[in-house]
Structure 1
Amino acid sequence: MKQFLISMMMICFTQISAQMKIPADLNFTTPFYKAEDQYIVFPPKPEDKDLSLGVPYFDPSAGYSYRYLGNLKVENDKLIYTPSDRNSAITARWQNLELKVAVLSGERVKALNLPLYPEFLAGYQTDMLDRDFLLEKLSAMNGAGYSNLALADLEKLRRENYQSAKFYFELAFAYNALGQFAKAEEAVKEAEQNNFHDELMIKEMHFALLHQDKLVAAADYLEKNFKNFKSKLYKSEGIVNQIISFYNIKDSENTEKWIKIYKNEIGEDQYKSRVEDITIKLKKDKA
């Protein structure tokens, strides 16, 4: 499975304060990712005196993000806007895509004398085709641990016969992340039939086979694809997972076989101590 590192600013929000009278039209019901490119406010913490105003957006190079614009003071159901220092704009790489926020209505935006379309977003315009851009968003969701949000659109792209190596990887990754291992296997097979085959899809297929307890099939598939790995680390991870899987079902013969494969193909790396531990356990089991 891929590891997708996203830097972010941790901002924690709690229940709405009873001390602040929130205007009735500010409903905290919209998930962060669905409020993209719109003005939003977060649920205030109990001690907050003002609301935080900002805009969620998608940066193709950094994923889902948030731009803080300033504060809103609530006075007699009106919102008084105090902009942030333009020389110190705060941008956070966002992790909690399902956080419920309130989207400002067009009337509220107009009353605050804000442009209907946030001006800074011009710097994030892209010439990518719509479906390619959507795939980037779905990839970010996968990487942030929200495959549950990504899967429906990935399956829609599949029905539309959208194809690319990245697409098939993201589809297989989402299925694996959600425990739908047979569907992940099917997705990789479809990718291979369409001539898309790389080490990331090999990893997903191997993962899917192992988690369906198809250990021999997983071993055969992995060994057949050794030559297709560009990353020695990915190759090593697959071999070590194969060793662990055989050891867990007490198949000492295949465990020993794959320990030898590890020594021949990898030699030593960060997983050496793990392999040595299993080797010691095997000897104790036989004693």
Structure 2
Amino acid sequence: MKYILTLLLLWSIGSKAQTELKFDHALIDCEDKWVAFPMNKDSTYNFGFIYLDKMAGLTLNVEGTFKIDAKGNYEAKKIINSSVKHRIPPTKVLAALIPLTKFSELQIKEIPDWLHFYKTSDTDVNRIFRLGFVYNQWDLAEKALINLEKVKAINPKYNGLSFEFAFAYNVLKQYDKAAKVLKEAIVENPKDCLLYKELVYAQLNVKLTDAEETYRDADKNCSDNAYKSEMAHNIAYHYYLLKNKQKFNYWGEEVTKYSKPEDQFSQKLKLMRAEMDKL
């Protein structure tokens, strides 16, 4: 993950030539497009094709590099006899769409021959769900919901659908909707720790005591200590903000119960305790 982030950032720096390339497209909007990244220090441009892998998510197939000569021609140096693919995490890096008129110079087809291995029908429920998932990853909740609604119309019991709906609702601060979806999902999946965690997040923004009750249910049914630690930390943090020392200490003990001293929530708790001790 760190490698691809570094790679994308490196492509986004360097001097910029005056070309018809406009580096103003978010990668999430470039599915099934040939894209180029800003000029490298050696005056080359990295380029490739962005597509959706149903398992890996948004993916870049790196084709190679090209230079632009004095006459504006594209001179390609392509990767030969190998395939270089990178999953694209959420990033602010922008790319340019390669003009159709330059495809012949780069020796590429508008639709790569290999794409059919990954491309499925736009009505394929797995593809639609993956799009919703990816949009949620990129904090584009409204676009995520459009796709999730399509999945719901096809298969309302699709695995993971309830969580993705709730995640999108929470991003949009529609906490009551998130809580409703999650409560229904927990009835069917009472041991799913992720559902409890997301429900606690929603309820902390509506009614603190409801979040506490959800935590207690999770404590009985959920076996993942890391999730329990995170939920307890989030509740403790709210009491920290309220300067309620008694409640903060209680939930701090819950954090300690399920985390190791070196864990991030233990470390955050330590800092909060130092501040609370001053009260």
Identity of aligned residues (%): 22
Match of 2:143 in 1: 152
Return closer, same or farther for 1:247/1:106 CA change in 2, 3 Å cut-off: closer
Letter in 2 for 1:241: N
- 2:35 matches 1:40: yes
Out of 114, 126, 137, the position equivalent to 2:131 is 137
What is the aligned partner in structure 1 of residue 75 from structure 2? 80
Spell out the pairing of 1:13-24 with structure 2 (5 A cutoff). 13-14=12-13, 17=16, 20-23=17-20
Q: Aligned in 2, Cα 1:72/1:221: closer, same or farther, shift over 3 Å?
A: same
User: Is contact 2:182-2:199 (8 Å) kept?
Assistant: yes
Pick from 26, 33, 36: which aligns with 1:31? 26
Deviates more, 1:104-113 or 1:165-174: 104-113
* SS of residue in 1 equivalent to 2:4: coil
**Corresponding residue for residue 245 of structure 1:** 238
Deviation at 1:96, TM superposition (A): 4.7
Separation in structure 1 between the aligned mates of residue 197 and residue 89 of structure 2, nearest angstrom: 25
Name the structure 1 match of 2:195: 201
Q: Which structure has more RCO (C-alpha within 8 Å, separation ≥ 6)?
A: 1
The 1:93/1:7 distance shift into structure 2, 3 A limit, reads farther
CA distance in 2, matches of 1:204, 1:116: 41
Match status 1:94 vs 2:88: yes
| Corresponding residue number in structure 2 for 1:8 | 4
Partner of 1:52: 46
| Matched AA of 2:85 | T
Deviations 1:104-130 (A, max 9, x none): 344432454323322343453569962
Q: Distance in 2 between matches of 1:85 and 1:201?
A: 46
Shift of the 199–127 alpha-carbon distance from structure 1 to 2, 3 Å rule, reads farther
Work out the CA distance in 2 between the residues paired with 1:124 and 1:259: 47
How far apart are the structure 1 equivalents of 2:178 and 2:81?
Answer: 47
Length-normalised TM-score, structure 2: 0.76
Q: How many residues align?
A: 269
In 1: Cα distance, 2:134 partner to 2:173 partner:
19
Instruction: Give the counterpart letter for 2:44 in structure 1.
Output: D
Deviation at 1:261, TM superposition (A): 5.1
> For residue 235 of structure 1, what is the amino acid of its counterpart?
K
| CA–CA distance in structure 2, aligned partners of residues 41 and 34 of structure 1 | 14
Calculate the aligned-residue CA RMSD, in Å. Answer: 3.6
> Helix, strand or coil: the match of 1:230?
coil
Structure 1: stretches of 5+ with no match in the other structure: none
Q: What secondary structure does 1:225 align onto?
A: helix
User: 1-side partners of 2:97 and 2:277: how far apart?
Assistant: 63
Distance 1:274 1:116, change over 3 A: closer
Q: Which amino acid aligns with 2:232?
A: I
TM-score, normalised to structure 1, is: 0.74
Deviations, residues 194-242 of structure 1 (Å, cap 9, x unaligned): x465321211110111133x21121112212323313121112212322
